[in-house]
Structure 1
Amino acid sequence: MDGPAPIGPPEVLAALGAAFRLHEHPDVTCPVEVCAALGVPLERTVKTLAFVTPEDHLLLAAVPGHARLRYGALARAVGIRRGDLSPAGTERLTRAGMQPGGVCPVSADRAATVVFDETVGSLGLVHCGSGRPGSSIEIETAELMAAVPTAATAQIAGLPVDEPA
C-alpha cells in the first residue's frame, strides 16, 4: 500500500469532536471476555460486521452486541442482493483504518455505507470496536450515530426472544 496507513476510528471521532473513551484490553478479544474485562453486559455493546460488494464498496452493519444480523434485511436496506454481500477481508479493512476483530461503524472510508439497526439509537452508553481488536470505544449511541451522518437505520437485527422488541 502506498502512503501512510489510514487513520482509525478513534482519530476520526476525535477529529469530529465526539466525546468518547478508549479502553485497552490487549490480551482479550472474545466479545464475552471483553465484556467481562470492561464490566459491561453484552447488551450494552454494538458489534459491527463488515462486508464488501462486488464493486469493492465497504458496507458496515451495526447491531446490538447480543443480536444476530439478518443478512437478507441488510441487503434489502441497501438495495442489493443477499448474494452480493461478502465478508470484508483484512486488506479491505486496513484501507478503512481497521483490523479484523475491531470493526467500528465509524471508519476512515468516508464512502462506506453504514446501516445501524433501529434499536441501536436507544442503547445509551455503549462499547464498540475501535479499529483494533485490543481496544474498545465507550461512547453514547447518539455521538456514535452522529459521527456517520449518511448512515441508514433499518430493522436488520434479530434480538433474542427473551428480549423485548
Structure 2
Amino acid sequence: MIDPVPAGPIDVLTALGARFRLHEHPDLVVPSEVCVALGVPLERTVKTLAFVTPEDHLVLAALPGHARLRYGALARAVRIRRVDLAPAGAGRLARAGMRPGGVCPVSADRSALVVFDETVPGLGRVHCGSGRPDSSIEIDVAELMGALPTAATAPIADFPAPRRA
C-alpha cells in the first residue's frame, strides 16, 4: 500500500475556506528572485523558516521577507533551548506536505509550533510559500493567521537599519 501524500498548504487553506490567490513561477528558492518573478517588494512577503526539535516537532517561524530571524527569541517563544532548533530537512518537510523553497506557515502537520513575528499582523496582503518552490500564495495576513488559531506571535525578527540618503 502506498502512503498518501500529505495535504499541502494550498489544500489546508482551501479546506478552511480561506481566500487566496496562487501565483505560479519558475522553481525559485531565493526570496529576491521570487519577488522579481512576482513583481512584489520583499517587504510585502512573509518568509517561513522551518526547524525540527529533538522530539521531531516541526517549528515554523514566519517573518517579513526582509527581516532576519532572531533564533534565541524563536526558541524562547516555543519554550525550548536554542541548541535544540535544527533546520528541518526535505524529509521532515515532506511529512508536513511541503518542499524546500516553498515553506509556508500553514502545513499538514497539525502539531507544528508556528510563531509569527509581532510585525506580521500589520502587513496586509502578502505573498508567502505555497509548499512548493514553483508557486506562491497571495493572501491577506488576517486570513493566513486565521488558519492557525494556535500560532504564537512574538518579537522574533531583526530588521535592517534604514539606509541613509
TM-score (norm 1): 0.96
Alignment correspondent of 1:104:
104
Cα RMSD after superposing both structures: 1.3
For 1:134 and 1:4, the matched residues in 2 are separated by 21
Aligned pairs (5 A) from 1:58-73: 58-73=58-73
Letter in 2 for 1:160: P
Flag structure 2 segments of 5+ consecutive residues without an equivalent: none
Letter in 2 for 1:90: A
Aligned pairs (5 A) from 1:84-123: 84-123=84-123
Flag structure 1 segments of 5+ consecutive residues without an equivalent: none
For 2:107 and 2:95, the matched residues in 1 are separated by 9
Alignment correspondent of 1:45:
45
Cα distance, 1:108 vs. partner?
A: 0.2
For 2:49 and 2:104, the matched residues in 1 are separated by 8
Stretches of 4+ aligned residues off by more than 6 angstroms:
none
Cα distance, 1:160 vs. partner?
A: 1.1
For 1:119 and 1:87, the matched residues in 2 are separated by 23
For 1:2 and 1:54, the matched residues in 2 are separated by 28
Change over 3 Å in CA distance of 1:144–1:94 after alignment to 2: same
SS at match of 1:48: strand
TM-score (norm 2): 0.96
Alignment correspondent of 1:158:
158
For 1:123 and 1:75, the matched residues in 2 are separated by 24
Letter in 2 for 1:103: V
SS at match of 1:126: strand
Contact 2:28–2:101, Cα closer than 8 Å, also in 1: no
Cα distance, 1:2 vs. partner?
A: 5.0
What percent identity do the matched residue pairs reach?
77
Instruction: State the number of aligned residues.
Output: 163
Cα distance, 1:33 vs. partner?
A: 1.4
Question: Does 1:147 find its partner at 2:147?
Answer: yes
For 1:146 and 1:29, the matched residues in 2 are separated by 26
